Amino acid sequence: MIVLLGVAVVILGFALKQNPLLVVAVAGIVTGLLGGLSPQAVIAAFGDGFASSRSVTIFVITLPVIGLLERYGLQQQARNLIGKLTGLTTGRFLTLYLFIRQVTAALGLTNIGGPAQSIRPLVAPMAEGAAERRYGPLPERVREKVKSYSASADTVGVFFGEDIFIAIGSILLITGFVNTTYGTQLEPLSLAIWAIPTAICAFIIHGYRMIALDRWLARELDAAIAKRETVK
């Protein structure tokens, strides 16, 4: 039971808004020591964990080119482009992106999108641009919400698309674990097809919420515009 104290440290730390880096370091040390590891083994675990998880930081390699393009106005151009497509509202655009992300992830192409590669330079500016075309400059709060929804379209899309692809980590983890532990012969493909119903539900639910974002924008910003008019 006592090893669960590490989990409590994490929850308490996040709840008290302590710096997550410190929270995680302390929780790791506490859990390791309570679980019977020597201090040296705990330190080794931090080294091993860092070395074997370097792939999550690989997106850094795209930042120089993304930064260079932004210097020359990539985000502005993304906005200009969306400004010409008058039928595309913020919600419809993000629903389209969600769909593309799910389908490409289902084909195993999980790395073609992501917060660094697509959301910051292209998708978020386009989602903002679509709203600006309609309502003019966006208040800070609205801008934050549009950016957050852009990030969510990417994450939901990749999560509930990738499992349809058979060679993805999570499907191979399932077959690897079950086949070695219980001596079964499960095929990745017959598992992957059962990711399809959830993928469809994810598209319907998150897509609906993107469209609902359009209605929220209309309510928020029409009111703001009306207020501006009366003040004049």
Minimum CB separation of residue 22 from another protein in Å reads 4
Binders of another protein among residues 137 to 156 (CB under 8 A) are: 140, 144-145, 147-152, 154-156
Query: Which of 91, 121, 129, 157 forms a contact with another protein (CB under 8 A)?
Result: 121
Nearer to another protein, 60 or 231 (CB): 60
Which residue among 186, 211, 218, 224 contacts another protein (CB under 8 A)? Answer: 186
Quick one: 56 or 231, whose CB is closer to another protein? Answer: 56
When asked if residue 163 is in the footprint of another protein (CB under 8 A), the reply is: yes
Quote the Cα angle for 82-84-88, to 5°.
55
Q: In the window 189-218, what residues touch another protein (CB under 8 A)?
A: 190-195, 197-198, 201-202, 205-206, 209
The angle formed by the CA atoms of residues 177, 180 and 181, to the nearest 5 degrees, is 75
Rounded-to-integer distance, Cα 127 and Cα 58, Å: 26
* Site membership for another protein, residue 95 (CB under 8 A): no
Diameter of the chain by CA atoms?
75
Cβ closer to another protein: 116 or 224? 116
**Of 16-75, which residues contact another protein (CB under 8 A)?**
19-22, 24-25, 27-28, 31-32, 34-37, 40, 42-75
Q: Do residues 47 and 105 lie in contact, with contact meaning Cβ atoms separated by under 8 Å?
A: no
Alpha-carbon gap, residue 77 to 108, rounded angstroms: 29
| Rg of the chain on CA atoms, in Å | 22
Determine the interface stretch with another protein among 85-93, 129-137, 168-176, 220-228 (rule: CB under 8 A).
168-176
Number of neighbouring beta carbons within 10 Å of residue 44: 13
Which is nearer to another protein, 20 or 223 (by Cβ)?
20
Nearest-approach distance from CB 222 to another protein, in angstroms:
22
By the rule CB under 8 A, 160 interacts with another protein = yes
Which residue's CB is nearer to another protein, number 77 or number 99? 77
Closest approach of Cβ 88 to another protein, in Å? Answer: 16
Which amino acid is it at 215?
R
Contact 129, 146 (CB under 8 A): no
Angstrom distance (rounded) from CA 119 to CA 147: 9
Please say whether the beta carbons of 126 and 78 come within 8 A.
yes
**In the complex, least distance from residue 226 CB atom to another protein, rounded to whole angstroms:** 26
Nearest Cα residue to 110 out of 161, 62, 40: 161
Shortest approach of another protein to residue 89 CB, angstroms? 17
What does the block give as tokens for 12?
């308490």
